[in-house]
Structure 1
Amino acid sequence: MTIISRPYTSSELFPHGGWDVHHHIFDPAKFAYAPDRHLTPPPATVQQFLDFKKKIGITNSVLTHGLSYGSDCTSLKAFVQELGNSGTKGIGVIDPDTITPGELQEMHSKGIRGIRVNLYKYQAMHDVQRQKQALREHVRAIGAHCPGWSMAFTHVHPEFWGELAPMIQQDIVPSGIRLVTDHFALLKGASMLPAECEGDITRQPGFREIMDLVRAGVLYVKLSAPYRVSLEAPRYMELKPLVRAFLDANPQHVLWGSDWPHTPHMKVRTREEALRETPYLIADDVEWLKNLRSWVSAEEWHAMMVLNPTRLYGW
């Protein structure tokens, strides 16, 4: 494995193309937000994303349905078509109690290749038992009808993965659904570690259990939104050990996503907070990508940016 530590220009980052597997589109002028949303983001339109896509040089993307639209995927299907179905796939949000097989097949025909679990709906952000319930209900809804789809599942408690692991092995793995988690599984860099970890990323709760799931080929992890796990913007140098840990565990199960337009940190908001427009975070995606590229080999980069997302979403 050859890793060259040097700066990369934006034109060198994607010599074979590349996938951004986690971005959003918000266009409330075209599609109204859900009345029970947990967040009110400013507009972030298709054209603005196309400008971003051109700037960093990616060729494909995975549009992740914004939870501000609830479980109505009308906007998602329209945005995927507008972005170009051949170059963009979608990840939807469903209500597992009401979704029908026909609706799932229609989603697939429109370029949707997976779902994300809305923990806010289940009041499960801080409750592992409710998280298990949410996962089981979504597996039940899509498992028999959408073989090969992925299911994105992200929460703010990495320490929950140890309790979730047996259920994942028992209920999700046999279904054929590929489990994905966003934002480094919210494992932290040194600047955000609790004091008892003494700066050692391997001592944080959930580290071993998450790496075991990645190593076993059970869990895909997106290296997305570094500002959620580190305070060292814009280069996030402290994340190199965490990136290397994921890649050393299983380079076929690591992906990259921008999290454009950089939505705020996950939290349970009051009704008043949820309805008040909240600005996006500021991030230097090109600087972060250049640094990330310097930590990995050419083979690892090609797997992370091209091969892995093509296998997971591009079929």
Structure 2
Amino acid sequence: MASERRPNFTLPPGTCDTHVHIWGPFDRYPVARGAPYTPPERNRDDLVALHARLGVQRAVIVQTSVYKADNRAMLDGIAASNGAWRGVALVDESFGDAEYRALHDGGVRGVRFGFVKHLGGIPDLDLVRRTADRIAEMGWHLVLHLDAANIPEFEALFRSFRLPVVVDHMGRPPAQDGLDQPPFRILLDLLKTPNWWVKVSGSERISAQGPPFHDAIPFARRLIEVAPDRTLWGTDWPHPNVRWEPDEADLVDLLPQFGDEAALRRVLVHNPARLYGFP
């Protein structure tokens, strides 16, 4: 049962939730064969209702592995948003100029690759490199969904990228390992390079304490301090594969502890507008 609680913190006009997913309707968009998990149906109407409760005006739909490279549900959601939504796609070897053009025309501005073990592990690194080169020409960005351990493991590859790169969920550093853990230190160093971005999403994923996830606050604060103009925020609704199911109002109410009003306006409004081409 979804929460009805509205957040205590009032989001600024133009706030963008840069990390949400759409699953379904399943009679039109069935889960891909061999998907790593089968989610509950959560369609665009559910997302519209969530954002009305939270006070969010814009969103970025991130394709998940349950659909693999079938981006139709996401594209149909974007098409019905009157310009308020953008997308991040999954692609495979079959994608050529026509497929990329259709994605771009449909509001997609990035491609995501996942390295997380329980979602299939390390992707084809040659495909990652080729895709990075291909989408750089289009002004798109690369999105990386990582386990913290992937950051030192693939640091050399990551440092070779020249296009904008966005790291999901703060790089998934276990909060109990502290700010000085090596993967987080490397991420902070990567963020000193002007093409690297990060999402201060996933507080419920990195927390060791559970709701309301206060142990994630120091990580978000540090990331915003290091890259105030290249940090984004998202709810990660509908929260696939989480240990604790968060109330999104709680996630919004963490925000005042991530930074001051000026910093939050950049994170919530100006940074996503710049990266995703919102007016």
TM-score (norm 2): 0.89
Matched, 1:284 2:270: no
The residue number in structure 2 matching 1:106 is 102
CA distance change for structure 1 residues 224 and 295 in 2, over 3 Å: closer, same or farther? Answer: closer
Partner residue of 1:211 out of 188, 205, 208: 188
Determine the C-alpha separation between the residues in 1 that align with 2:272 and 2:124: 26
Task: Tell me the residue number matched to 1:54.
Answer: 52
Match of 2:3 in 1: none
CA RMSD of aligned residues (A): 2.3
CA contact (8 A) 1:124 1:131 kept: no
Unaligned runs of 5+ in 1: 1-8, 194-199, 266-279
Q: CA deviation at 1:56?
A: 0.4
| Alignment partners' CA distance in 2, 1:11 and 1:60 | 19
Q: Choose the corresponding residue for 2:111, options 109, 112, 115.
A: 115
Q: Is the 8 A contact 1:150 1:178 kept in 2?
A: yes
Determine if the alignment matches structure 1 residue 66 to structure 2 residue 64: yes
> Highest Rg: 1 or 2?
1
Q: Distance in 2 between matches of 1:223 and 1:299?
A: 16
Residue matched to 1:39: 37
For structure 2, the residue ranges without an aligned partner over 5 or more in a row are: 1-5
Q: How does 1:1-315 map to 2 (within 5 A)?
A: 10=7, 12-27=9-24, 28-82=26-80, 84-95=81-92, 97-119=93-115, 125=121, 132-144=125-137, 146=138, 148-156=139-147, 158-170=148-160, 172-173=161-162, 177-190=163-176, 193=177, 200-202=178-180, 204-265=181-242, 282-315=245-278
C-alpha separation between the residues in 2 aligned to 1:159 and 1:41? 26
SS at match of 1:26: coil
Distance 2:116 2:149 in 1: 19
Q: Aligned with 1:293: secondary structure? A: helix
Q: What amino acid is aligned across from residue 33 of structure 2 in structure 1? A: P
Tell me if the contact between 1:117 and 1:134 (Cα under 8 Å) persists in the aligned partners: no
Rate the CA distance shift 1:32–1:281 in 2: closer, same or farther, 3 A: farther
Give percent identity, aligned residues only: 23
Give the stretch that moved more between structures: 302-311 or 67-76.
Answer: 67-76
Give the helix-richer structure, 1 or 2.
1
What's the TM-score once normalised by structure 1's chain length?
A: 0.79
The AA in structure 1 aligned to 2:257 is S
State the one-letter code of the partner of 1:137.
Answer: R
Contact 2:36/2:65 (8 A) holds in 1:
yes
Identify if the C-alpha distance between structure 1 residues 294 and 209 changes in structure 2 by more than 3 Å, giving closer, same or farther: closer
Distance 1:248 1:119, change over 3 A: closer
- CA deviations 1:137-186 (Å, max 9, x no partner) are 32244333x2x211111121x2332353333333x21xxx3111111110
Deviations 1:217-276 (A, max 9, x none): 2321111121110033322222222112101111111111111011114xxxxxxxxxxx
Q: Secondary structure of the residue that 1:33 maps to in structure 2?
A: coil
Instruction: Report deviation, 1:134.
Output: 4.3
Conserved in 2, the CA contact under 8 Å of 1:262 and 1:281? no
Aligned length: 271
